[in-house]
Chain A
């Protein structure tokens, strides 16, 4: 319990830090780029919205830094993220809600798949020390992890989409298709997601394989594994029920720590495939100088990562009694 309270405290501190960084970045920038953005919108936008944007970006406001800081935090906590400038007058939150399901579906599913498959492969590689998997996987993934994530995406586009023509080049769905919950449209979405998902899977899986393999090598040498073997248990049972379960625990913490890297890679993968998720929207906001949308997306991605980390903490606490008893 104490473990979870501590982790919850950490979650709150990290959230506060992200909010604060988000507040100060536009204020620390030379030449206040946000001011020129606002100049374009005076007269077109209602005064209430202008006021909220001014608080968020620290432009011509006569109130002090501290009071605008609290007003900004208050606005953000109430989900009042302001209006998007490039999709004006649609609120930022609406733009984000449009992109969110795409990212959750693509990045969420491929990350979880990568974790499960990578962990299993790593366990098997360590179990058969000196076997084919053990000799081939680590060096192969060292090389793959040295490629930029987005480049693997470019390679996939070139080979599978342009050369072979098996998959669409870009987008989340066929533009001309009618949007409806039928098999045809869902199939179309899945077909479009194959290449980006494969790219994320391929680039993130190596980390899970290597860490699981390394944990597993340590665990396999433990006495209770020898004992299980000596009892004559089936090797498969020793592998998954004895060694694998314990080697998994540090990997769960590792999952939390590397999630940020996976999300970063996914942003560029979405960009390569013009996949209509959060990362692509973020880079479009950058190109259109849509600062409110850009900053809200940064905040949202951060919140998503922090919550995922907290979930993996809860899972660790549930699975590992040691974290519950000792502080």
Chain B
């Protein structure tokens, strides 16, 4: 019973927060819609996305909302079918990178000394080496990157930014009184880290998850666009690849090339808006101020 009421309480509080914060609300709605499409793509696809049976190069119409490709595929159905891969990449890479970031960042800050020196050095080196050329080189040898290979490469290159931020945050918390008190009580390191240290950092951790997810979506799309992904799967980046290789822009099919980019941007803005909202939870000074309230405060 208590569990239910506390879950209800959390829901109520998040609902109130969403009503107050328009950015968070917009981000949540976008993510919810995309998750539904990811789970049940067939509800939304009027045509078989891979069937090459329609009039090639058709413009907008009710039966083809975004026209067709020069192979005679329905652009809108392809767009819906491609949602799953981008959303999955975002969630999986975001999750694994965040686990790595939390693990490495907090271990470094909590251990201090030589462990911190080594982990920080590794983090900084991974951070400054430009990741995209590196990913290009790796995938070039493998000819085309499968889904899980792409996840692996994106995680390897995507964890460092978060680890660095979390280390700094954990360092600033490390010597607070309540943490010292927990240690003085004789609590184990695991207890101190999981119960005392991590909860105050939740908003930063969530922000990191969203940042890593955004990075994964954009980088994966870029790789697929230049043909380094698996070009036979259904994804937004692959659509862009086929559109670019068939010169969709110059043969008068701009929607084929532009629609997947808009889809990526919708997912990206959803993540970025939520990220921004979590930044503002963590740092109240950044919250938007209305000009009226500001004048009142000054007067």
Contacts and interface: CB of A to CB of B under 8 A. Distances in A.
Interface of A: 10, 13-14, 17-18, 21-22, 25-26, 29-30, 33-34, 129-131, 134-135, 138-139, 142-143, 145-151, 154-155, 157-158, 162, 169, 214, 217-218, 221, 256-257, 259-260, 263-265, 267-268, 271-272, 282-283, 286-287, 289, 291, 294-295, 297-298, 301-302, 305-306, 309
B294 interface: yes
B136 A282 contact: yes
A142 B294 contact: no
Contact of A294 (B23, B137, B222, B226): B137
Interface in B126-175: 127-134, 136-138, 140-143, 161
Interface string B268-281: 11011100100000
Contacts of A155: 258, 261
B132 A263 contact: yes
B35 interface: no
Interface stretch (B41-49, B68-76, B176-184, B283-291): B283-291
4 A-B pairs with the lowest CB-CB distances in the bound complex, closest first: A146-B268, A264-B132, A151-B261, A130-B291
A214 to B, nearest CB: 6
Given A155-B258, A286-B140, A21 B134 contact: yes
A162 B257 CA distance: 14
Interface of B: 23, 121, 124-125, 127-134, 136-138, 140-143, 161, 214, 218-219, 221-222, 225-228, 240, 244, 249-250, 254, 257-258, 261, 264-269, 271-273, 276, 283, 285-286, 288-291, 293-294
A52 B32 CA distance: 55
Contacts of B264: 146-148, 151
A178 to B, nearest CB: 27
Nearest to B126: A17
Interface-central residue, B129, B133, B161, B288, by most chain A CB under 10 Å: B133
B261 A301 contact: no
Grouping DSSP codes into helix (H, G, I), strand (E, B) and loop, the B interface class, with mixed when no group exceeds half, is helix
A17 B130 contact: no
Contacts of A18: 129
Given A142-B276, A146-B265, A154-B258, A17 B132 contact: no
B261 A267 contact: no
Contacts of A169: 250
Contact of A148 (B127, B218, B269, B288): B218
Contact of A154 (B218, B261, B283): B261
A309 B130 CA distance: 12
A30 B149 CA distance: 13
Contacts of A298: 133-134, 136-137
Contact of A295 (B137, B161, B286): B137
